[in-house]
Amino acid sequence: MTQTSDNVTWLTQEAYNQLKAELEYLSGPARTEISKKIEAAREEGDLRENGGYHAAKEEQGKQELRIRQLQQLLENAKVGEAPADDGVVEPGMVVTIAFDGDEDDTITFLLASREYASSDVETYSPQSPLGAGVNGKKVGMDAEYELPNGKMASVKVLAAKPYQG
């Protein structure tokens, strides 16, 4: 999946292709669509009280921000292979952990940047406290991370498998 190191983001070829396709859509057909919405709303008259116009302009702003984010991400991307299935936690892995060693209190998540947030599995960033705590650990190892209240929490890595998307 991804691994960020300074300004470089590591992507699998599949992830790169997916983001490139999103960028092409947003900077092509989607830009044309939003321009048409703005023009249609503008023709309705007084722009100060035109909700459709303001909504379309806001949508355009969000879309342009996403285009800039994708351009920057892809500009600094390095394409590589998916992580090895070696039991070591790293970005691109689906990780199962147990809180305080209690194997009944577990969560499973994808360790990846938010670009890969998926509806089928929760995503944690490698820069998040939990993500940073487990990154690099092997299955069976304990890890610690800092909670928002400043206390430390411990978890045990139960599984780490490459994400199959």
Domain boundary among 80, 114, 133: 80
- Specify the higher pLDDT residue, 6 or 26: 26
Range of the domain at 39: 3-80
Per-residue pLDDT, averaged over 70-84, amounts to: 78
22 token code pair: 């999103």
132 token code pair: 């940073």
Can you tell me the distance from the alpha carbon of 113 to that of 111, in angstroms, rounded to the nearest whole number? 7
Domain boundary among 16, 48, 80: 80
Same domain (yes/no): 9, 74: yes
The three-point CA angle 103-107-113 to 5° equals 145
* Number of domains forming the structure of the chain: 2
Same domain (yes/no): 68, 101: no
**Threshold 0.75, pTM exceeds:** no
Domain-embedded: residue 85 = no
Query: In this structure, are residues 142 and 156 in contact, taking their beta carbons and an 8 Å threshold?
Result: yes
The candidate with the shortest Cα–Cα distance to 115, out of 23, 37, 6, 48, is 23
Domain boundary among 59, 80, 101: 80
In tens, the pLDDT along 134-165 reads 999 999 999 999 988 999 999 999 999 987 76
